[in-house]
Structure 1
Amino acid sequence: MNLIEDWLQYWPQLLSGLWVSLQLTAVILLVGLPAGLVLALGANAENRALRMTSIVVVEIGRGTPALVVLQLVYFGLPTVGTTFDSFTASVIALGLTTAAYTSEIIRGGLQAVPEPEVEAADALGLSRVDTLRFVVIPQGIRIAIPPLVGFSIMIFQATSLTYTIAMPELMSQAYSIGSTTFHYLSILTLAGMLYAAVTIPASWMATRIEKRLAPHRTPVAAH
């Protein structure tokens, strides 16, 4: 059976796996990005205990492979009485990884906000919380958007790791078909094409976003 025949026969099953991968990515980002913002703010906090705690959490999250975190959540936590299904375990594990990595991206964006604008907010009598809310966070997030989009693409690709805990995403479906038909080359090629069909347009979008936002940062650099 050739590539086209495999595609015609198995594309509905592969597409269902792709849909699961996209859903999983969306939920992971909904959990991980806000958590990353919290960790970024914590790492910049004046309170030393909060700052050190946030930094330690980030370093552990960045230093531990996502696959290890996934296995710990799915197989390790049940040994202490906490059990999760594969979708929940995937969201928790990859959400933690997302939070750790994106916190550094967001932190860099927050630190890139021009100091004169922060000083202007202080001169207007804004509290520290209001300065963060209305000045620092909106501009910092805008600066961080391009790398965050790029990282989101990586998380979509990382969902392929969840096949190890029986998550029926794209890679899991491909392996299931391959183990039945032994057409691993054609099936995995088709799976790779589906990944590329998502990641390549997303990469183009990230590049366009970065170019559109660049003019807004140029005047700041000039000053």
Structure 2
Amino acid sequence: MQTPLLTSWGQYLPPLLSGLVQSVWLAVAAIVIGLPLAFLFCTMVMSKNRLIGALGLVIVEIGRGMPALVILYLVYYGLPRFGISLANVAAAIIALAWNYSCYCSEIIRAGIQSVPRGQLEAGDALGLDSRVTFLRVIVPQGLRSAIPGLLGQSILVFQDTSLAYTIAVPELMKQAYSLGGENYQYLRVFVLTGLVYAAVTLPATWITVWMERRLGKSY
């Protein structure tokens, strides 16, 4: 015999899963856009050109210094003042991608800087061009050590998709608020919503920890 709680959860689950699909889509799009940007910002910050380095540092620090919600509002409500109007989904993706890329750029930079200096010297000894050594030797090793941090940040960007409800994106949190407004059973709805989030983030966290241990043993 089903309890009222399980019965209500059975009714709430389909719209919440629909919102989950939207949340995953937002997170994947932000990651796909954000990772190349992260590498670009990282190379800018590490550039020997002071102007490029300063510009990259400003971009990264602004992206890391402001809450993701503020960035979301600036993109969605601020850009129209300059004649750039974006759909709510596009604005959410851009805001999340920028925030994600700024944090990931520092993770990548830390990974690259953790590679022993001797690797660069070995490339010079073999007669390799400094750019070739950096791209073929230093970067792969740096990215390998940065993988756990990048995965952890990817989990956070999935959680940050919940902020998109503030601009009416029909993601998981927006669906939860809609359901709660219909029946005023906010506690039941949000407990189930939390379980749906956990069903995604907990396995991803376990994978991140397992990968971190595997990579740690290989060094």
- Letter of the structure 1 residue corresponding to residue 9 of structure 2: W
Cα deviations by residue, 1:29-77 (Å, 9 ceiling, x for unpaired): 0111111111111111111111111111111111111101101111111
- Letter of the structure 2 residue corresponding to residue 42 of structure 1: M
Partner of 2:151: 149
Partner of 1:63: 65
Partner of 1:83: 85
- Letter of the structure 2 residue corresponding to residue 43 of structure 1: V
Aligned residues: 217
Partner of 1:220: none
Partner of 1:72: 74
1:23 aligned to 16, 22, 25, which one?
25
Partner of 2:39: 37
Q: CA deviation at 1:84?
A: 0.7
- Letter of the structure 1 residue corresponding to residue 159 of structure 2: Q
- Supply the distance in 1 between the matched residues of 2:5 and 2:49 (Cα, whole angstroms): 59
Contact 1:105 1:144 in 2 (8 A): yes
Partner of 1:195: 197
Partner of 2:217: 215
Partner of 1:120: 122
Task: Output the TM-score relative to the length of structure 2.
Answer: 0.96
User: Once the two structures are aligned, what percentage of the paired residues are identical?
Assistant: 47
Partner of 1:181: 183
- Letter of the structure 2 residue corresponding to residue 67 of structure 1: L
Task: Output the TM-score relative to the length of structure 1.
Answer: 0.95
Contact 1:2 1:186 in 2 (8 A): no
Q: CA deviation at 1:216?
A: 2.5
Cα deviations by residue, 1:88-126 (Å, 9 ceiling, x for unpaired): 101111111011111110000000111111111111121
Q: CA deviation at 1:79?
A: 2.0
Gaps of 5+ in 1: 218-223
Q: Stretches of 4+ moved more than 3 A in 1?
A: none
Indicate the SS of the match to 1:25. helix
Cα deviations by residue, 1:120-144 (Å, 9 ceiling, x for unpaired): 1111121122112101111111100
Indicate the SS of the match to 1:129. helix
Contact 1:40 1:103 in 2 (8 A): yes
- Supply the distance in 2 between the matched residues of 1:58 and 1:13 (Cα, whole angstroms): 37
Give the CA RMSD over aligned residues.
Answer: 1.1
- Supply the distance in 1 between the matched residues of 2:109 and 2:144 (Cα, whole angstroms): 12
- Supply the distance in 1 between the matched residues of 2:4 and 2:121 (Cα, whole angstroms): 66
- Letter of the structure 2 residue corresponding to residue 132 of structure 1: F
- Supply the distance in 2 between the matched residues of 1:167 and 1:99 (Cα, whole angstroms): 21
Gaps of 5+ in 2: none
Q: CA deviation at 1:215?
A: 2.0
Partner of 1:111: 113
1:101 aligned to 100, 103, 112, which one?
103
Range that drifts further, 124-133 or 137-146: 124-133
